[in-house]
Structure 1
Amino acid sequence: MSYPHLAGQAVVLPYVNLQDFICHLLALDGYCTAVYLQPESALPLPEPALPLTRATVATPDSVHQDTQWFIATSGTTGTPKWIGHRMASLTQAVKSSDANTQLCWALCYQPFRFAGLQVVLQSLLSGASLSDCSSGDAYLKLDNMQKYAVSAVSATPSMWRQLLLTGKLDALRLSHLTLGGEIADQQLLDRLSTLFPTARIMHIYASTEAGVGFAVTDRRAGFPAQWLQSGIHGIEFRLDETSHLWLKPRYRPVNLPPARLNDEGFIDSEDLAVLQGDRVLFLGRAGGIINVGGNKVHPEQVEQLLLQVPGVAQVHVYGKASSLLGQLVVADLVAETGAETTALQKQLLSHCLKHLQRYQIPTRFNWVECLTTGLSGKLNRSAKHNV
C-alpha cells in the first residue's frame, strides 16, 4: 500500500515486532526525510514528526529522499539524545560473501538501538538469517539459539559472561562471535577462543554518537597502536593529553553536541584509553571515574584485573560515598558455579596487592547471585545488587 502523506516527512517509528520493523526499515528509507526509531523511554521528538502507530508500509513510487535515521542514545552517560545517521554510514561495516549468506545471526540487542540495527542490517543485506533473541534471560536466549541453529552471535561482554555462566554455551556451533558495547577484556577473549577455536572472533568499537568505528580480529584486547598513525578503513584516531580517544569517521553523524566535535572533524568518544606497548587499551568511560582522596580510579580497569582470578565470573566495581576520602572502591562479584568464595576472596586480595595501587583496591568484596544488565545488554552500573 502507498501512503503519499508520508512522502518527504519525518516519521516516528515505534518498535512492535521484528518483522514489522524490518518491513518499515526497507519501505521508509528513501521515502521519508527522517525516521526516528522510538525507544521505550519518552524521549522528546522534534516537530513536525508524524507518528507511525500501526503496521503501515509505505511503497515508494517516484519519491527518493536522503533519509536520516535518528537513533536515541542510551542515556547511561547523560541525558538521552537523538543522533542522526544515513544508510551509507549505517551499512559501511556490512560484509557480504557466499559464506555470510549461510549464517544465522542471533539478535541479542534491541533492534532500534545502534548495535541492534547493525545486526539487523548485516543479516538483511548479506542474505543471512536472523533469530530474535533479544528478550529473556541467558537460558532462554541459549534455548532460542539452539532451536534456530544460530551460527553467529553479537552481544556485549556482560551478555557473553552470562551465557558462559549457564555452562551450555559450548552446545552452540558458532562460526562468528562479536563483542561490542563494553570493554572486551583479554580474559573473556581467551575463554571464547578456547570454546570456539576455529571461529571468527572480533570485538567492535562503535557508538550511537560516532557511528561505526572499527573491528579487531586478532583476539587481543584493545587495538593496534599503529592505527593511531595510519588509521583503519578510512577512520582516523587520536589520543589527547587527558587520555580521551577521538575518532574521525568517514561519515559525520547529525545532531552531535558541539562540545564532542572539534574543528578537524574528530569526535570525542568520551572513552579513556592508554598506549601500552603495541596496543591501545581501554580504561573506561570518562564520566565513570571513582575519586578516592583525589586519586582517579577507573572501575573497568579494576574489573578486568579481578576477572583474571580463576573462579570469578562477573564483576561490578563502583564508588561508595566516604566522608573522609570522597569515595571508596567497592566490588560486587559473581562466582563460578562450585567456587568457594572465602578462598576466592583471599586470592582476589593477593592479586590486587600485586597489581593495584592501594587506593584502587576494593575496600569491600560483595558476593552476589547475579549482576543486572540493562536492555542494551550492558552492565547496569547504577543498579544495587542483592548481597
Structure 2
Amino acid sequence: MSWLVENFKKFGSKIAIIHNDEKYTYKDLYNKINEFLNEIKKEIKIGEVVAILGDYSFENIALLLALHLNKNIIVPITSTKGNEIKERLKEANCDKVIRIDNRKLIIDNLNYKDKHQFIKTLQKKKHSGLILFSSGSTGKPKAMIHDFDNLVNYYKGKKEKNINMLIFLMFDHIGGLNTLLNILSIGATAIIPKNRNADEVCKLIEKYKIRVLPASPTFLNLILISKSYEKYDLSSLKMITYGTEPMPETLLKRLKQTFPKVRFLQTFGTSETGIANTYSKSSDSTFMKIDDPDIEYKIVNGELWLRSKTQVLGYLNAPMDSFTEDGWFKTGDLVEITDDGYIRIIGRSKEIINVGGEKVLPQEVETIILEIPEVIDCIVYGERNPITGQTVVADVVIKDGIDKKEAKRKIRKHCIKKLDNYKVPTKINFLEEINIGNRFKKIRRKDA
C-alpha cells in the first residue's frame, strides 16, 4: 500500500474532493480506491499500460491511485477528439483503456503489443509509471514517461493543512497533477470546477472560500477582462500561483492592483523535470528563485537547464536531443539573472523573431503594448518578410468603443518611444479575442 493512500485513513472524515457540489471525504476516497483496485485486478495485470479517458472527477482520481497501487503505467487523456485519442493510445503502447460511465468502470482491451524499453524498465522494477504528452504547440506532441512511484514520493513528509485549493490545470498536465498530489499529501480539499471559465472559477472561490488559486497568466487576464472578480466575493483568496508561460510585468501590476491583499507566487516546472519549489522576489516581481533540493539548475548561453530527481525516463516517440549525456534538460526558456541570484523568464528560444539578424523576444514587445490603458490583451509573433527575413506583428484586443485608427497610432507611438526600431510592430491587427489553447496558454502564430 502506498504511504499516500495510507494517509487517507488518518485524514478520515476531512473533505478531500468537491466536484459538481458533491463532497467526498478521504474515507470515501480510500474506499473507492480499494473498490476499483479489487475490480481492476481481475482484468489488468501488474505493469500493463492503461489509459484513463476523462478529466478530473472523484472516480478518475480514485482510479488513478488504484492503478498506481496496481503498479500500472498510467496514461491520462483528457482530449475528446477521436483521432487524437487513438494516436495517443498508440504512441503510449497501451494495453487497456478505461472510461467511467455512470460511475462504473468500462475496460477495453487494445492490441498495442510492442513496448518501448522505458516501459520495460518500469515493468522490471515493478514501479507504476505515468505517460504525459506535450501540448504539441511546436510540432507533434511528445510522449514522455515518468516513474510515478518516484513522483508520488516527492510529496512525502509534507505537513498536514486545512485549506481549500482549486485544481485548474488539466488531469493530463504535470502542473495539474502536481496540484492534486500536493493537496492529497497534506490532507487539504481539492475543488474541481465544472468548466474552466472565469465566471465559474470566481463563483467557486466565493462559495467554498478557496484560499489558493493556481492558474496561468492568460487565464488570470481573462478574469480581469471578464470582470468576474467584481461579481463575487474573492476575499478568501490568500495566494495566486502562476506558471506555464511568462507573466508580462504589466499584467502582474494590473493583477496586484485588483487583488492588493493576495500574495502572487511564480511557479516553474516542465513536463520533463516536474515542478520545482520556487519563491518570488516579491508579489509584484517576475523574478524568482528555484529553491529545491531535488532540482539543480544552471544557465547556459542565456538558456535555463534543469536536472531533477523526478525527471522523465525519456520520450517514447522522439529523440532525446533536449537532454545532455549527463542528464541536463535544456528547457528552451531564455532567462536573465540578477546579481543576487534571482532569475526571470523572458521568452522561449523557439519564439525569437529574427529581424535582419536582430533578435526580438515577443514577450518584451507584449509588455510594452500592455502598458497602454486602451489595450486589454495582445500577442506578438513573426511573419516572413522578403527584405529582413521576418517582421514583428501584433494581434491586439482593445476596449469597447475605442477607435482603431487612434489605437493603432497610440500603439505605434508608444512602441517607438520604448523599443528599438526593429522591435516595433510593422503590422497591428485588431481582434475580438486572443486565441488560447485548452491549457490556457496563448497560441502564438508561427511564421507563415
Is 1:233 the counterpart of 2:233? The answer is: no
Is contact 1:94-1:126 (8 Å) kept? no
What is the correspondence of 1:220-259 to structure 2 with a 5 Å cutoff? 220-224=285-289, 232-241=292-301, 243-256=302-315, 257-259=319-321
Is contact 2:363-2:380 (8 Å) kept? yes
Which of 22, 26, 36 aligns to 2:61? It is 22
Q: CA deviation at 1:45?
A: 3.1
Query: Equivalents in 1 of 2:326, 2:194: separation in Å?
Result: 38
Is 1:137 the counterpart of 2:200? The answer is: no
Query: What amino acid is the match of 2:177?
Result: L
Query: Where do 5+ consecutive residues of structure 2 fail to align?
Result: 1-34, 108-124
Is 1:11 the counterpart of 2:50? The answer is: yes
Is contact 2:183-2:190 (8 Å) kept? yes
Q: Which moved more, 1:81-90 or 1:327-336?
A: 81-90
Q: CA deviation at 1:163?
A: 0.5
What corresponds to 1:172 in structure 2? Answer: 234
Q: 1:234 to 1:255 in 2, by over 3 A?
A: closer
Q: TM-score, normalised by structure 2?
A: 0.74
Query: Equivalents in 2 of 1:126, 1:142: separation in Å?
Result: 24
What corresponds to 1:314 in structure 2? Answer: 377
Q: 1:32 to 1:56 in 2, by over 3 A?
A: farther
Query: Equivalents in 2 of 1:276, 1:213: separation in Å?
Result: 19
Q: May I ask how many residue pairs the two structures share in their alignment?
A: 371
Is contact 2:382-2:446 (8 Å) kept? no
Query: What amino acid is the match of 1:67?
Result: S
Q: 1:358 to 1:68 in 2, by over 3 A?
A: same
Q: CA deviation at 1:266?
A: 1.2
Is contact 1:299-1:317 (8 Å) kept? yes
Query: Equivalents in 1 of 2:191, 2:388: separation in Å?
Result: 49
Which of 106, 120, 133 aligns to 1:72? It is 133
What corresponds to 2:216 in structure 1? Answer: 156
| CA-to-aligned-CA distance 1:46-86 (integer Å, 9 cap, x gap) | 4352222444399xxxxx94211111111112321222222
Is contact 1:30-1:66 (8 Å) kept? no
Query: Equivalents in 2 of 1:335, 1:87: separation in Å?
Result: 48
What corresponds to 2:98 in structure 1? Answer: 52
| CA-to-aligned-CA distance 1:215-252 (integer Å, 9 cap, x gap) | 2332211324xx6xxx64332221112x2210111223
Query: Equivalents in 2 of 1:238, 1:111: separation in Å?
Result: 30
Is contact 1:107-1:134 (8 Å) kept? no
Query: Equivalents in 2 of 1:296, 1:155: separation in Å?
Result: 30
What is the identity percentage for the equivalent residue pairs of Structure 1 and Structure 2? 24
Q: CA deviation at 1:381?
A: 1.8
Query: Equivalents in 1 of 2:227, 2:403: separation in Å?
Result: 18
Rg (Cα) greater in structure = 2
More helix by share: 2
What corresponds to 1:146 in structure 2? Answer: 206
Query: What amino acid is the match of 2:96?
Result: L
Is contact 1:94-1:122 (8 Å) kept? no
Query: What amino acid is the match of 1:235?
Result: I
Q: Which moved more, 1:3-12 or 1:87-96?
A: 87-96
What corresponds to 2:253 in structure 1? Answer: 190
Query: What amino acid is the match of 2:327?
Result: G
Query: What amino acid is the match of 1:381?
Result: R
Query: Equivalents in 1 of 2:106, 2:188: separation in Å?
Result: 23
Q: TM-score, normalised by structure 1?
A: 0.85
Query: What amino acid is the match of 2:389?
Result: G
Is contact 1:153-1:178 (8 Å) kept? yes
| CA-to-aligned-CA distance 1:186-227 (integer Å, 9 cap, x gap) | 223333333333333211111112211342332211324xx6
Query: What amino acid is the match of 1:14?
Result: L
Is contact 1:131-1:145 (8 Å) kept? no
Q: 1:314 to 1:39 in 2, by over 3 A?
A: same
What corresponds to 1:118 in structure 2? Answer: 178
What is the correspondence of 1:193-342 to structure 2 with a 5 Å cutoff? 193-217=256-280, 218-219=282-283, 220-224=285-289, 232-241=292-301, 243-256=302-315, 257-275=319-337, 278=340, 279-336=342-399, 342=405
Is contact 1:372-1:383 (8 Å) kept? no
Is contact 1:13-1:52 (8 Å) kept? yes
Q: Which moved more, 1:47-56 or 1:312-321?
A: 47-56
Q: CA deviation at 1:378?
A: 0.6
Q: Which moved more, 1:125-134 or 1:31-40?
A: 125-134
Query: Equivalents in 2 of 1:209, 1:172: separation in Å?
Result: 34
Query: What amino acid is the match of 1:107?
Result: I
Q: CA deviation at 1:339?
A: 5.7
Query: What amino acid is the match of 2:192?
Result: D
Q: CA deviation at 1:17?
A: 5.0
Query: Where do 5+ consecutive residues of structure 1 fail to align?
Result: 59-63
What corresponds to 1:360 in structure 2? Answer: 423
